[in-house]
Structure 1
């Protein structure tokens, strides 16, 4: 097994080790005002929407997790089968490994084989040459591209990058690629200035991926020979990052600490068009297999439709109208930053 593949599998194991679904995060500090008399009924059809010109059964999806190793091939195969059956989108983990190890292609391409007509999203790091990105897009037959930004993870990673001049290459990728491009953080949150800058460069979508879920600084600290745990709290809370994206008037995805259907609803009320879930789904798969994860996703659809009904709404577009209020500590941060 190569060093890169070994790292991929270490990340999977550590994500499982540190997983805690009950972790407190910014969604716990955001509250929605619920009408006692909603005058609506539960309808699964309310969840249907479009993503990159394709129809999907729900506005949440399986966000980027893995690829590039034997174990990750098995996971991606199962995730794609579930995405196909439940008609939701699937984003793959970083495929930049393919620029060095083309033999790992099947750990990613298996997804399109299992879900020939669904929405599939590729993921690369911001240093991947535009020519290689185009090849990855073609090889994986995807509908959109994520470019992940992960400076904190790289600094915490023993073998991580130390050169963060990424903007010019992102611009080259934007010019070379015809598909929608999503700029995605990896659990530390996108700030408003970066969103504004990349918006000017023609980026289509932003995945805020704020703090509150998987913490890659913590994962990399477990792989490091010296203590870099001080990096673990550098993240921007997901709710604040989402509000920053909304202020910039961009298309955005909310991810980072989504634990249940209520978190999904809250994310949608913030203005997110879609909601990404990674580690909760991964750990459900680890514990209960393909059937268990499919059952969870199906239950989340039903629960989300129920929540939309009790909040008195009948379509996704109207969810931003739900009145919100914040705990004082989060409101104080919002007032200072936005």
Structure 2
């Protein structure tokens, strides 16, 4: 097994080791305003959404996890089967390893083979050559491409990149790839200024991937002989990242610390078009529970829609909410800092 494949497997093991299902995050400081008279019925709730011209059964999806090793091949194959059966989208882990190790292709393609008609999203790093990015997207038969911005992870990674001039290459990829492109963080949160800059460059889809779930600085620090644990405190909470994204008037996905159907609903209330779940679903898969958990999440989400007087996903953002004082104070300071 190559060093890159070995690192993929190490990341999977560490993600499992550091996973905390009941970890508190900013979604706990977001309180929903519930109508006592919702005038709805669970039977009338319709969770279906359109995503990249395909109809899906629910607004939540399996977000990027892994690929490029023997274990990740098995994981992606199983995720593909579950995504097909439940008709939800599946985003693959970073396929950047294929630039130097094309023999790992099947560890990604197994997901499309298992889910030939569903939404499958490829994932690459922002330094991937544009022509290679286009080739990988085509060969994986992807419906869209995530490009992950993982500066914090790279800084914490002992062998990580130290050069982050990415915008010009991102624009080249946008010219070469004929599928929708999603600019995605990886657990440290997309900020207002970066979204605006990318929007000006022609990008229209974003995944805020805020702090509150998997902490890649923590994962990389566990592999680092130097103590850089202070990096683990850096990150924009998911709720604040989502509020920033909404202000930019772009299409955005909410992810980062989503643990249950209520978190999914909150992400939709914040204005997210869809909500992505990575490590939580990975752990359920490892426990052999994901295949039964997803239909249960659907049913619980239907009940939440009815509880809050909502029948369709697009109506979720009309629900009211307020923030607990610490998070509200942080948001007010951000507004002042940004001159909003």
Do Structure 1 and Structure 2 share a fold, with TM-score over 0.5?
yes
> Shift of residue 45 of structure 1?
5.0
Where does residue 75 of structure 1 map in the other structure? Answer: 75
> Shift of residue 44 of structure 1?
7.2
TM-score, normalised via structure 2 length: 0.97
Where does residue 15 of structure 1 map in the other structure? Answer: 15
Distance 2:55 2:254 in 1: 19
Instruction: Give 3-state SS (helix, strand or coil) of 1:93's partner.
Output: coil
Where does residue 47 of structure 1 map in the other structure? Answer: 47
Where does residue 84 of structure 1 map in the other structure? Answer: 84
Where does residue 307 of structure 1 map in the other structure? Answer: 304
Instruction: Give 3-state SS (helix, strand or coil) of 2:93's partner.
Output: strand
Where does residue 320 of structure 2 map in the other structure? Answer: 323
8 A Cα contact 1:44 1:301, kept in partner: no
> Shift of residue 204 of structure 1?
2.1
Q: Which 4+ residue blocks in structure 1 deviate beyond 3 angstroms?
A: none
8 A Cα contact 2:44 2:311, kept in partner: no
Instruction: Give 3-state SS (helix, strand or coil) of 1:122's partner.
Output: strand
Distance 1:230 1:163 in 2: 21
Please list the CA deviations of residues 120-172 of structure 1 after superposition, one character each: whole Å capped at 9, or x if unmatched: 00000000000100110111000000000000000000000000000100010
TM-score, normalised via structure 1 length: 0.98
Distance 1:287 1:314 in 2: 32
RMSD: 0.8
> Shift of residue 317 of structure 1?
1.4
Please list the CA deviations of residues 253-304 of structure 1 after superposition, one character each: whole Å capped at 9, or x if unmatched: 000000000000000000000000000100001112xxx2111000000000
8 A Cα contact 2:183 2:207, kept in partner: yes
Q: Which consecutive unaligned segments of at least 5 residues does structure 2 have? A: 336-340
8 A Cα contact 2:129 2:173, kept in partner: yes
Instruction: Give 3-state SS (helix, strand or coil) of 1:47's partner.
Output: coil
* Aligned pair partner of 1:334 in 302, 306, 331: 331
Mapped pair 1:294 → 2:291: yes
> Shift of residue 43 of structure 1?
3.2
8 A Cα contact 2:123 2:148, kept in partner: yes
Distance 1:275 1:294 in 2: 18
The 5 Å alignment of 1:201-220 reads 201-220=201-220
Q: Which consecutive unaligned segments of at least 5 residues does structure 1 have? A: none
Distance 2:132 2:191 in 1: 28
- How many pairs align? 335
